[in-house]
Chain A
Amino acid sequence: MASPTPKEFAIPVDLLKSFQHEVRFVPQLPHNNGYIIFDMDMLISVLRRADPKASAALADNMEALKKAQANLVIMQKAE
């Protein structure tokens, strides 16, 4: 088995190798038919609407990071 992954599930080695060599394509722009996907903009909005100064500063920082092509990653600590 390969190294541990979130929730203590480990990807079997044969599958891991196949995924590592696979070419996967995702659309450049998210699907927009019908409704909106929760994304960083939405999180920024939520933080801003809380209004206190600290939230606004955090939103500004996140927005700057987004402009610099950063990704928002929320991880659960492995138990």
Chain B
Amino acid sequence: MDTVQKPSGDPPFLRNVGLFLTYHCQASCAHCIVRAGPDRHEEVNLDDARDWIRQIASYRNHYVYVLSLTGGEPFSNLTMLREVMELAVECKLLVSVVTNGFWATKRHTAKKLLESLPKICFISISTDQYHQKYVPFERVKNAVWAARECGIPYYISVVTENESDPDYQQLNSELVQITAPGAVRTGITFPLGRAAEATAQLKYKTSSVPPKEACQAASSPCIFPDARVYGCIGPLIDLRYDHPLLLGNLRDSSISEIFDRAETSVALHALRLWGPNRLISLLRDSGLGVHVPKSYIEGSVCNACYSLLSDARVRGWLRDLEQDADFRKKVAYGRLFYLSESGMLELGGA
């Protein structure tokens, strides 16, 4: 993946919060890290959702701008989706939604549905070789058309194991027929969740060198139906251990407590500033090179991060790093320099 060096362009911290509505999905994609599917019915409890949305909205006097609804397929349970969206709008949060577009059976049906929902400020429509086994491309086209008609900005989100994969390239050429190339966002899948069961068939390009990029996912935490709050919605959600990006549990702490703690997390912000590559260098410098992953998936910061945090010794080292005054100071001022963020300094985290 091409990289650019520039002073910023990073998403701001905590302005966007994800809410994972449901594990139900019409598709049971081979790459799905949360193993969503038609047989899954766990979803967020509406009373919990109401409580959490109110807490999100009141956190630091409307600090959070956007509630991003994800899953699973948020459109699976329209009653719940509508209720959650209405409350979010009432709480003055903007709402974005991720979908596979299964509901867009016809152009006008899709438009009518989008018009019937409270304001959606952004929609991400997933399609790729995995989703297409379950959701015909025609529906994706209808969903894109309806989003345009309703004036809703959208991305088409595509994942692949390898950007040189012919299937992926074929799909991309079809997508540019229906939308501008800038509206297509590509991600690399993870060999986790359901994909972990098919590792022999995966077509990743690997490298012995870790990706150099900073992590942009850890700017936006995500709340799961069981009340766990993760610092991102990457593969770390598959790690059940205590680790720096498992920010807390809403059964034990409030949103405010969890988000404030996250503001001063050294590991989380080191990832946002320098990506796992910096932690890997520090691990080597600390004489723990034996715990550094041997192989990385090209272009996947998430995979490097997951591989690192899967190691218990690394997690212990990261806990110690939280107490390292010099590194803490470097992270706090690094946020000020690169991201114009003073939250860590304000909360006494340096």
Which A residues are within 8 Å of any B CB, using their own CB?
Answer: 5-7, 9, 11-12, 15-16, 18-19, 23-39, 41-42, 44-46, 48-49, 71
List of A residues within 8 angstroms of B336 by Cβ: 5-6, 9, 11
A18, A23, A26: residue with the most chain B Cβ atoms closer than 10 Å: A26
Q: Once the chains are docked, how many angstroms separate the CA of A26 from the CA of B70?
A: 24
Chain A residues touching B, majority SS: loop
Q: 9 nearest interchain CB pairs?
A: A35-B68, A34-B233, A32-B185, A37-B11, A7-B342, A31-B217, A41-B153, A25-B212, A19-B337
Q: Once the chains are docked, how many angstroms separate the CA of A28 from the CA of B96?
A: 22
Q: Which residues in window 123-167 of B have CB below 8 A to A? A: 124, 151-153, 155, 157, 159
Residue of A nearest to B123 (CB): A36
Which B residues are within 8 Å of any A CB, using their own CB?
Answer: 1-12, 15-16, 18, 65-66, 68-70, 94, 96, 98, 119, 121-122, 124, 151-153, 155, 157, 159, 185-187, 212-217, 219-220, 222, 232-234, 273-275, 301-302, 329-330, 333-334, 336-338, 340, 342, 345-346
A23, A34, A37, A38: residue with the most chain B Cβ atoms closer than 10 Å: A34
A12, A37, A42: residue with the most chain B Cβ atoms closer than 10 Å: A37
Residue of B nearest to A39 (CB): B11
Q: A9-B345, A24-B338, A42-B121 are in contact. List 8 more A-B contacts (CB 8 A).
A: A5-B342, A24-B274, A27-B3, A27-B214, A30-B185, A38-B65, A39-B11, A42-B66
Q: Are B122 and A36 in contact (CB under 8 A)?
A: yes
